[in-house]
Amino acid sequence: MIKCSCEERFSDSVILRRRSRRRISAGILRPLRGLRMTPLLLFLLPAWVFAGSITGTIKFTGTPPEPEQISMDADPICASLHVEPVYAETVVVNDNGTLRNVFVYVKSGLEERTFSVPGEPAGIDQKGCHYEPHVLGIQTGQELEIRNSDATLHNVHSLAQNSKPFNLGMPIQGMKLKKKFENSEIMAKFKCDVHPWMNAYIGVLDHPHFSVSGSDGAFEISDLPAGDYVVEAWHEKYGTQEQTVTVTEAEPVVVEFMFQAT
């Protein structure tokens, strides 16, 4: 699981940092595997290493659809925030042929367990008249800090079906509001009625075992106890796929999902 603090999410180079972080953690783990977990190292490592994890990438085949350019002319403030053309984030294929913004999560296998709600809030920002991130995971009961970094009026209209829907007006630059989801849902949609191109998807789960594929198409679900799980990958346009995975504590299970252009 990629955990990053809200400040990071709100920062300009969020994608960059996220990527580097994953690289680093992968770098630490690789020599560990080589050493076959010597008793000494076992002693030194924190307990979570014993838990299993699922890692992998979201592959994409076929010709990706032509990115859809967004015209922000309707709101001059939005338009003035972008020099380069802006494209819709519905389908983002990375340079390495992987698919971004895929929500990967443990669909079943955790029913018997209960999880504490994280104290720190998840975050989503309205910045440059789009949502950052575009796809986000959150636990039920966990706070979601919604921020407006733009000097224009946004409204966050949650179309959640399982939780109480809300529609918040956010007219002031820099203002933050906090909301929670009561029940799990794949996926709760956010939209901005003022700027109809703006939307985001929130995966609400009652456990923390989820991940979103980033700019390298990779995902990682960690801290999983050994067992059989059904893992599902959800994409806004290409729907869902699921796989059954057996997690052991020995080493991470590698799972690949393949989405195809339609």
Partner 1 sequence: MPQSPDQLYSVHKTTIWFAVASIALVVTLVLIVFQDHNREWKTWQEEFVELERKKLKENLQAMHSKVDEKRLEDLRKELASAQEEFDRNKSEFEKLEADKTGLNVDLVKASARYEDLKQHYDSYKFFLEEHREQGEDEKAAQFERKFKGVESKLKDAKFKKEQIERKIEEIDARIFSFQSVKRRIEKEMNEFRRDEERLERKLKELEPSLIKDMINAPMVDFVAPTLEIQQVVLEDLHEDFHFAKAQRVDRCTTCHLAVDRAGFEDAPQPFRTHPRLDLFLSADSPHPLEKIGCTVCHGGSGQSLSFTWAAHTPQNKEQRKAWERKYDWHELEKWEAKMLPLQHIEASCAKCHGGVVNIPEAPKLNQGRALAQKYGCFGCHLVKGFENRWRVGPDLRNVRSKLDREWIVRWLQNPKAFRPSTQMPQAFHLENTNSEGDRRRSNAAIEGIATYLLKHSNTVSLESPPIPGSPEAGKKFVEETGCLGCHTMGDTSVNDHGPELVYLGSKVQDNWLYSWLKNPKHYSPETRMPNLRLTDEEAAHMTAYLLEDRNEQFDASVIPQVAADDLDGLAMGFLTRKMRQAEAQDQLRQMELEEKFEFVGEKMILQQGCFGCHTIRGFEEAKQIGTELTKEGQKEVERLDFGFVDIDRTRYDWFRQKLKNPRIFDRGKIKDYHEKLRMPHFGFTDEEAEALTTFLLSLRVEEIPLEMRKQLDLREQEIEAGRLLVSKLNCQGCHTLDGVDGRVRSLFSATLRGGSATSFGGEDVGKEPPVLDGEGAKVEEVWLYHFLRDPETIRPWLKYRMPTFDFTEEETNSLVKYFAYLDEQEISFLREKVKTKAATVAAGRELFTQFKCIQCHQGGETQTITASFLAPDLAMAKDRLKPAWVIEWLKDPQVLQTGTMMPTFFPDATTPLPAILGGNAEQQIKAIRDYLWTYRPEEVTEVKGGSS
C-beta of 164: minimal distance to partner 1 in Å?
9
Q: Does 149 bind partner 1 (CB under 8 A)?
A: no
Task: Return the number of the residue (202 or 253) whose C-beta is nearest partner 1.
Answer: 202
Can you list the alpha helix ranges (DSSP code H) found in the chain? 6-10, 14-34, 39-44, 76-80
> Can you tell me which of 167, 244, 246, 248 binds partner 1, judged by CB under 8 A?
167
**194-213 binders of partner 1 (CB under 8 A):** 194-196
How is the beta sheet containing 239-247 ordered, strand by strand?
A: 210-212, 103-108, 227-235, 239-247
What does the chain come to in residues? 262
| Residues contacting residue 37 through CB under 8 Å, at least 6 positions apart | none
# residues contacting partner 1 (CB under 8 A): 24
Nearest to 52 by CA among 221, 230, 213: 221
> Can you tell me which of 165, 228, 254, 256 binds partner 1, judged by CB under 8 A?
165
String marking each residue 178-197 x if it binds partner 1 according to CB under 8 A: ---------------xxxx-
Residue 185 near residue 162 (C-beta atoms within 8 A): yes
> Can you tell me which of 74, 79, 226, 254 binds partner 1, judged by CB under 8 A?
74
User: Alpha-carbon dihedral of residues 119, 253, 184, 130, nearest 10 degrees?
Assistant: 80
Stretch in the footprint of partner 1 (CB under 8 A) among 10-18, 108-116, 160-168, 236-244? 160-168
> Can you tell me which of 8, 75, 220, 223 binds partner 1, judged by CB under 8 A?
75
C-beta of 43: minimal distance to partner 1 in Å?
37
Nearest to 189 by CA among 226, 162, 219: 162
Stretch in the footprint of partner 1 (CB under 8 A) among 46-54, 81-89, 172-180, 206-214? 172-180
> Can you tell me which of 62, 64, 76, 85 binds partner 1, judged by CB under 8 A?
76
C-beta of 172: minimal distance to partner 1 in Å?
5
CA 193, 125, 76 angle in degrees (round to 5)? 55
Q: Does 65 bind partner 1 (CB under 8 A)?
A: no
Task: Return the number of the residue (53 or 163) whose C-beta is nearest partner 1.
Answer: 163
How is the beta sheet containing 253-260 ordered, strand by strand?
A: 218-224, 52-61, 253-260
Q: Does 97 bind partner 1 (CB under 8 A)?
A: no
Stretch in the footprint of partner 1 (CB under 8 A) among 62-70, 74-82, 135-143, 232-240? 74-82
Beta-bridge partner residues of 56: 219, 255
Cα–Cα distance for residue pair 155/173, rounded to 1 Å? 12
C-beta atoms surrounding 103 within 10 Å: 24
Residues that bind partner 1 (CB under 8 A): 74-77, 152-153, 155-157, 159, 165-172, 175, 177, 193-196
